[in-house]
Structure formats: C-alpha cells, structure tokens
Structure 1
C-alpha cells in the first residue's frame, strides 16, 4: 500500500515498443521508470519514482574517488496468468544493509526499499514477460553522492532501483580457469559485501582468462590458492559421488541467495549436502577417479550455470556431459518452477507484487 511520502512522476510515453524482447542484451536496456531517495542530515528522505534518466552529480562526489558504492541483484517473474512475483526479497534487503554497514554507509529503511520496489514493479509490469527464462532484472544500489574529495566516509548518499528486462544470462555450459595468482578478496576485507570494487578487481584477471579461451575464473583463497571460493560472480557447487558440496561463506565469499536456496532444496529432495572447504586437489583427484561428476555456479543472474571443464596449473580437465537427472538441472528446474509460480512454495520464498 502506497504511503503519502512516495511521489510518482510517470513518463510521458513508454519506450517499450522500441524493444525487441526476443533479442535482449543483458543489462543494456532499462524500463521506463526508476526509484530514488536521498540521505542527508542523518536521515533518508524524498522517496520518488520518476522517468528513467541520467543523474546530475558533482564530479567530486565521493563515489568517484573512494568507491563507496554497493548494489544488489534481484529478479521479478511473471507467471502464466500475469501475476508478478519476487523471490526472497527479504534476503536482498538484509544483504544490502549488511554491505552498507561494511562500507560505512547508512542502512536503508525497510519501508523505503519495499514500497519503492513494489510500486516500481507495478508501474513497469508490462516490461516483465511471461515464460521460463524471461525476467526483469532488478538492480538496487547506493552511492556516496556527497561532493568533496576528502578521504573519509561520506555523509550524503543516493539510493536507487533500476530495472532491465532479461533472458538467460549464460546459455549452455562454461569453461573456467582456476586462478593461481590473483585474488578476489582477502581475510578481513569486504568480499562478502556486494561492493562495486569487488567486481572491478575481477575484470582484469577475467580478461586474461578469456584470452586463454575461458568464460570465467574460479577464485581461490588469497593465502595459498589451494581452496576454491567463487566462480566469477557465482557461488560454486561440486558433486562428489552422490554428495553436493559447496564452500562455507566467510568475509571473503558472498552469501548468495541462490546458494542458500539450492542447499535447502537439495535437502528437501533427499540429496546429501556438505558445506566445507573444497581443495583444488580434490577436484583434480575427483576427475581422475570419476567421483566428481558435476561442477556448477549459482547466482541470481545465471541461476544455475553448468561448468564443462576447468584449467589448473596449465592442464585442462573435462567433466562428463550432464544427464537429465543431474543435480544441476534438477535443482535449476525446481528453483525456476518456484520462482515462476509453477509449483508449490514450501518455504514461503515467493512474494507477490501484482495479482493476475
């Protein structure tokens, strides 16, 4: 229910008719409106929805100089009857405030986050197309907007939500390079936060990996490079015999919403799960023995992304092609059925925004 504080200014005409929804580049086309609010004098204020447009911001804004910027990644789904749903948005809200705390940024009030999000999705609901694979990618983010280049935490911030229609992020399986030199995050750092700098630091090593023919990098621990941690922008899962294994979260590893959902779903299916450190040597031995049959990444954008092979110490290792009964495909199908309101939701993860 809308409060009297949220101001809505609708665009004069929609640009939706100019979009080819059968061929969508990920994250390049945005809906008609955006949500925005400001933090000044110790409080959030002026929540508003307005037409999507460029920002006017000072060149000396702290975000440009000291990197105070965080974000979230979410999706909205439309079922076959036209209802619009979110998947575990409470987890995204909790995590953006966890990221904010680590980056010396103010927590966002729950009513601003959810009211702005729901009203924005209602306004731009025609941009959400039905059908498995079609989604609206939702990007909440916060930046330090205070002018001035003194090297200290800002006291003024801007929070926004923008949305982009999307299809599948990855198609097919990917080949990855296990990183032996560069690190994504270190103990005591902010790897667990969805901070912009975490992703900027990944781009160069990933570029190098792509030059060698890989699509992604599997990050390893910063101390010894012996244990796997994340796969690009995804959490990583390994199937060893009949056990599904993933790394524990830490101050280096993002606590992924998809990750924790897959773990719960696997347990519901009777699949044995383990959360523990995974050594690279264990993967190499698992390939040789045949005990390792699946390796896949999991995240909001990619959902579940099978990994066909990896490189380590200059040698390439290939995994068998996934069967229809693979853990990766079973979990992906079940997860998407929940997200698109095609199956029961035993844990109450769906949140309806627009009724059919």
Structure 2
C-alpha cells in the first residue's frame, strides 16, 4: 500500500490551540484525526483518515456481546531536530496480529498498518509533544463490528488508530498489593493477548487494593498464587542483590516490548539478568534479609514505574531508597534511544 492510497478527510478547524502542552494528562486529550479501516467481504478495505469523532455501531454488533476486542500501545516522539520517531513499531504490529489470531480477528497486513500509521502521524505531526517526559500515545485497536446475537465470531471488524498527546502515566513511585485470591489470566487463556477483557477483569481486584491504600496489584499465578507474574497492566522486574529477575512469558503473561528491551539493554550493560519463575516467598525472604533492592513495572505507557513498597498477608514491606537505582538507569537508557539522545545499536528507533 502507498500513502497516496489512503483516503484523507481533514478537520475544518484544529483543536490544538485549546491544549496546554505543558500540563498534559495521560490519554484523555485527543489529536485532530484518527485512522479507520474496515474488514468486510473477506478483506481489509482502504483506510480512511478523518477527524476524531464518535463512531456508530448497531446494537447487535458482536463487540458488545462477545468481546472480540484487542489493542496495542505505542508512542511517537520528536528529537531535538524535530524529527518524528517511533520505537519498535513492527513489534506492535506483530503482537496485534498475535492477539488477533487468538481472538479470531483477521490479521491486519503490515503495510496497511505501517503506511496508515505514518500518514496519520504526518497529518497530526504538530500534536507530538516536545516537553521532557511527554509523548504522543498511539492506540491501535480492532474490534468486531459485525452484527448478530449468535455466539460466533463476527464477519466484519474495524481497525482504528487514535492518538493522544500525553504526560507521564504514573507520577512517582507506587505501592502495590500482592494478590492472593484473584488471577489476571489462566493457562490456555488469553493472558498473552492484549484483549480488552483482560483489563476489564483486572479492575475489580485492583479497586479492592486501592480501597486498602495501594495503587496497583501484583498478579500471581492462577493455580497456587505462589508465583509473581505481572504488576498491574505491566510486566514486573525484581532486583535481588545485583541480579534482575523477571518472569518468563507464557499463556498468562504478556510479551512486553518494553520488557524485551530492558532485558537486552540490561544484559549488554553487564547486569545479571534471570528470566525465571520467582515465588512470593522468595521475594518476602529477600525483603526480610535486606537483599531485595528494587521492584518495578515495565510497559509502554509508563516505560518503567518504580515500586516503593508492597503488601502481603496484612503486612507491608518497604523497599530501600537507592541513590542510583537500576530502574532509573534503565529508563534513561531506553528513553534516550526513543528520543534520539543516544545511539541505537539495536535498530529499534524508526525515523519517519
């Protein structure tokens, strides 16, 4: 697909003058345009870029009844010269299609995804923030638009890509609760996919944790609740002494792009990294002995979110305040690559 193939309907008057780019929330201010592409009659149609606006669906659209919905999270940045940059966008496209396969949604051709995304960012280029710590958050999502109450996959779908100039996802460190009852995902399920229902199911136990004074939940395995799996909507890293540990991906754990990047950068920086199962009891023992140095979540939205402390079985554990924690070192290395402040030896940065 060529950029010229995409239909473009420009907004009559931009909303950009109404936005305070120095005080951006996360994900609630939306850019002028969005991309929409329909799947019908057995194939993806020509994408359309049009003003950001509501969409109309029939009440019997299967997204409302059977939850065929997936999404991705990406960011666009500008460097000091004003160039537009993406971070490992093909990994997002691959993961979107991996989620699509599991949810019986037609996979989106890479050329439609990338050409459409680049054209959208070209049109709304002025919406990409330049303030330190800000970025243009990109939300591609696909869902069942086909109609009918029959419990079966839809025959029509939509891909939309919307963007939101955003500030930081979390401000400062967070306090988390290790979950003992509820599970985020199960073996053989859809935990590895970025399916909307995964996140909806997290809200209730997370709300219970918030009511107890915590910010987020650390998820444990669905069978025994003995193994640490994820932190809220992010992958989790645990530093014991000078070793960085993270759980292996599985049916239950998302193959995070930030996670993969951290593992690579950490190994290349000489940090001892172990990708293995880690038990709650090992983390508690490390906290009690003083060998637990850091815990942090990792994901596109926050990049890295340090954890200040955690609760388990009615007891709280505080993590030490370190002068130069690995979390901040690794976050700087990743964001410097993303924003073209450092060399990119991996070829992750894509300049538009």
Question: Is the TM-score greater than 0.5?
Answer: yes
Note if contact 2:3-2:116 (Cα within 8 Å) is conserved in structure 1: no
Aligned equivalent of 1:345: 344
Once residues 293 and 308 of structure 1 are traced to their aligned partners in structure 2, the CA distance between those partners, rounded to angstroms, is 10
Q: How many residues align?
A: 352
Aligned equivalent of 2:27: 27
Map Cα deviations across residues 181-208 of structure 1 (whole Å, 9 max, x no partner). 0110000000000000000000000000
The alpha carbon displacement at 1:20 in A equals: 1.3
Aligned equivalent of 1:222: 222
- The answer on 1:177 being equivalent to 2:180 is no
The alpha carbon displacement at 1:24 in A equals: 1.9
Map Cα deviations across residues 4-25 of structure 1 (whole Å, 9 max, x no partner). 4211111111000001122222
The alpha carbon displacement at 1:131 in A equals: 3.4
Aligned equivalent of 2:124: 124
Once residues 102 and 33 of structure 1 are traced to their aligned partners in structure 2, the CA distance between those partners, rounded to angstroms, is 29
Aligned equivalent of 2:59: 59
Map Cα deviations across residues 64-118 of structure 1 (whole Å, 9 max, x no partner). 0000000000000111111110000011000000000000110001111001100
The alpha carbon displacement at 1:26 in A equals: 1.5
The alpha carbon displacement at 1:52 in A equals: 0.5
Note if contact 1:176-1:214 (Cα within 8 Å) is conserved in structure 2: yes
Once residues 276 and 255 of structure 1 are traced to their aligned partners in structure 2, the CA distance between those partners, rounded to angstroms, is 14
Inter-CA distance 3–329: structure 2 relative to 1 (3 Å threshold)? closer
Aligned equivalent of 1:247: 247
Once residues 243 and 132 of structure 2 are traced to their aligned partners in structure 1, the CA distance between those partners, rounded to angstroms, is 28
Map Cα deviations across residues 193-246 of structure 1 (whole Å, 9 max, x no partner). 000000000000000000011000000000000001000011000111111110
Once residues 204 and 130 of structure 1 are traced to their aligned partners in structure 2, the CA distance between those partners, rounded to angstroms, is 36
Once residues 211 and 24 of structure 1 are traced to their aligned partners in structure 2, the CA distance between those partners, rounded to angstroms, is 27
After TM superposition, what 4+ stretches of structure 1 lie above 6 angstroms from structure 2? none
Aligned equivalent of 1:320: 320
Stretches of structure 1 lacking an aligned partner (at least 5 in a row): none
Once residues 89 and 322 of structure 1 are traced to their aligned partners in structure 2, the CA distance between those partners, rounded to angstroms, is 33
Once residues 340 and 167 of structure 1 are traced to their aligned partners in structure 2, the CA distance between those partners, rounded to angstroms, is 15
Once residues 321 and 8 of structure 2 are traced to their aligned partners in structure 1, the CA distance between those partners, rounded to angstroms, is 50
What value does the CA root-mean-square deviation take over the aligned residues? 0.9
Note if contact 2:25-2:168 (Cα within 8 Å) is conserved in structure 1: no
Aligned equivalent of 2:270: 270
TM-score, with length taken from structure 2: 0.99
TM-score, with length taken from structure 1: 0.98
Aligned equivalent of 2:335: 336
Q: Secondary structure at the match of 2:46?
A: strand
Aligned equivalent of 1:197: 197
The alpha carbon displacement at 1:2 in A equals: 3.7
